[in-house]
Amino acid sequence: MDLRGVATPRRSIRRALSRAPWSGLVTRDTHSASPGRQQGRCSVSTTRRQALARTGAAGAAIAFSGALTELFAGTAAAQSTGGSAGYGPLVPDPDGLLDLPRGFRYRVLSREGDPLPSGEGAVPSNFDGMAAFPSRRHGHGHGRGHGHGHGHDGVWLVRNHENRMDSRVPVPTVRGVTYDPAAEGGCTVLHLDRHNAVREERVGIAGTSTNCAGGPSLWDTWLTCEETEYQAGEAGYTKDHGFVFEVSFTRERPTSVEPLTAMGRFQHEAVAFDPRTGVVYETEDAFDHPFGLFYRFLPEKPRGGYGSLHAGGTLEAMRVPDVPDLSSVTEPGTGFDGIEWVEVPDPLARKTPIRHQDFGRGGITHAQKLEGCYWGGRSVYFVTSFARRSDGSERDHFGQIWRYEPHRNRLTLVVVFGPDTDVQLPGDEPDNICLAPSGGLMVCEDGAGAQHVFGVTRRGTVYAMARNAQNTGTPEKPAWGEFAGVTFSPDHRTMYVNCYTPGTTFAVTGPWRH
């Protein structure tokens, strides 16, 4: 497939926008910003407590209705106990794998280097983003949220492997599901019974690169994202990379190895769907200045089912008027109205990376390392990781969580993680996020030292849910033991989470609803 020849005709785009359910949302042509355009209005809270009290989303899956507690004070004792919030202090694991609160237990589902039960090779390394889908006795379902009814019979997990060239354990190249034979990333698929015993484990897609995160579609497939921008002929690759791929976990519905080119070629991190409109939101985890963008993709066939994203669509980037860098905003509760969406000039980034392209007189809004992304209630939430002045960003912090409300066209800073904030985690750099069964969030840490999964309650209290005991950032147990891919089973009884390295997938059960 000639990737450089793919384009969506502008006339077709206009037709799609005119009839699509999001046609009433704000859009801006790339080079037609009017001098008289409405400026984005910014509201800043007077105190963090007042700000957080105002940022709860009515009817949303989570709501922060009080001040975020400075639970962890940065001492070794505080880090090891996790305080008294959440499910209680973490109990050291005698097996040295995963520390959990009392009453919780884990099961190891998969380890890198072990033989794949499919016989295709070894379990690949660098476990990253992941999602859980319901398994049914009578065929495949028709969308998210159907895992509670009749016929539920276990869980499918689809797991990314963020392998670059020269990885420890590459994803095996398997006929029919390999995009670029020179690339070593991809996804594996696990089928679990209702007791979390592994029935099946095999390659879902191979020949992709740096598969970081992604997200579930509305029709129960996994969109895996390449966090790279290498083109064919660079670094040993034979095809262009930096795309999104749709992965099916059932054999009845084969995975296509053709990339979803209209969704853009950039350093993808995660995606989230608006279930009402079918709009897909995308984050870009760019490491260098001017850093990444927050995107939305308007499909030609919104909510069209498996394979429909190949029909193309329009890729737009978010512009917050007069805010070139989101890292400059550090007061929780700060909100911006009049968000603009600007069409990306060249989604395939043939010559220039998207974040460096010309978005007209108003420019475009960047953010430091956009990470996890998910839909909750009527809003999309996304994470930006640490910002440092030495990196060219405007403020120092350990990360942010933002909320965009399409129905209000409003962006709000919900959480800022230390230093000198109301959320001082024992570590730093939030990454993957998901909703917790009791409300609130689960946040994977990707920083220095010991790595945690943190919970953020509905009231804004932060607590430690799990700690990686395999890899704590010490000389004996070196760094890069981050958590990734946190997700819950459709019945909300099991949390699945990965240790990045050594690659390990855990199933955690316990009194979640308490």
* Average pLDDT value over all residues in the chain: 81
Handedness of CA 200, 98, 272, 170 (dihedral sign): negative
The total number of structural domains that make up the chain: 1
- Long-range contact list for 195-202, CB < 8 A, 24+ apart? 196/107, 196/109, 196/155, 196/494, 196/507, 196/509, 198/109, 198/110, 198/117, 199/154, 200/117, 200/118, 201/110, 201/116, 201/117, 201/118, 201/123, 202/116, 202/117, 202/118, 202/120
- Has residue 99 been placed in a domain? yes
- Has residue 72 been placed in a domain? yes
- Has residue 41 been placed in a domain? yes
User: How many Å is the maximal CA-CA distance in the chain?
Assistant: 65
Model pLDDT, residue 477: 60
DSSP H/E element including 485 = strand 483-488
- 321-371 pLDDT tens trace: 999 999 889 888 999 999 999 999 999 999 999 999 999 999 999 998 899
Model pLDDT, residue 149: 39
The residue among 40 and 56 whose pLDDT is bigger is 40
Question: By residue range, what is the domain housing residue 327?
Answer: 3-509
- 466-507 pLDDT tens trace: 999 987 656 666 555 789 999 999 999 999 999 998 999 999
Model pLDDT, residue 157: 99
Residue 446 pLDDT more than 80?
no
- 182-208 pLDDT tens trace: 999 999 999 999 999 999 999 999 999
Model pLDDT, residue 391: 72
Hey, what amino acid is at 504?
A: T
Model pLDDT, residue 400: 86
Q: Which pLDDT band, with edges at 50, 70 and 90, does 69 fall under?
A: very low
Question: Buried b / exposed e across 286-322, counting CB within 10 Å, b at 16+?
Answer: beeebbbbbbbbbbbbbbeebbbbbbbbbbbbbbbbe
- Has residue 144 been placed in a domain? yes
Model pLDDT, residue 145: 44
Length of the chain: 514
Residue 95: CATH number of its domain? 2.120.10.30
- Has residue 123 been placed in a domain? yes
- 122-145 pLDDT tens trace: 999 999 999 999 997 544 444 554
Lowest mean pLDDT: which of 167-171, 238-242, 330-334, 389-393?
A: 389-393
Q: Which pLDDT band, with edges at 50, 70 and 90, does 230 fall under?
A: very high
Residue 47 pLDDT more than 50?
no
- The structure's pTM equals 0.82
Percent of the residues in the chain that have a pLDDT greater than 90, as a whole number: 59
- Has residue 514 been placed in a domain? no
- Long-range contact list for 424-428, CB < 8 A, 24+ apart? 424/70, 424/71, 424/72, 424/73, 424/74, 425/72, 425/398, 425/452, 425/454, 425/462, 426/72, 426/74, 426/78, 426/79, 426/450, 426/452, 426/464, 427/79, 427/451, 427/452, 428/386, 428/398, 428/399
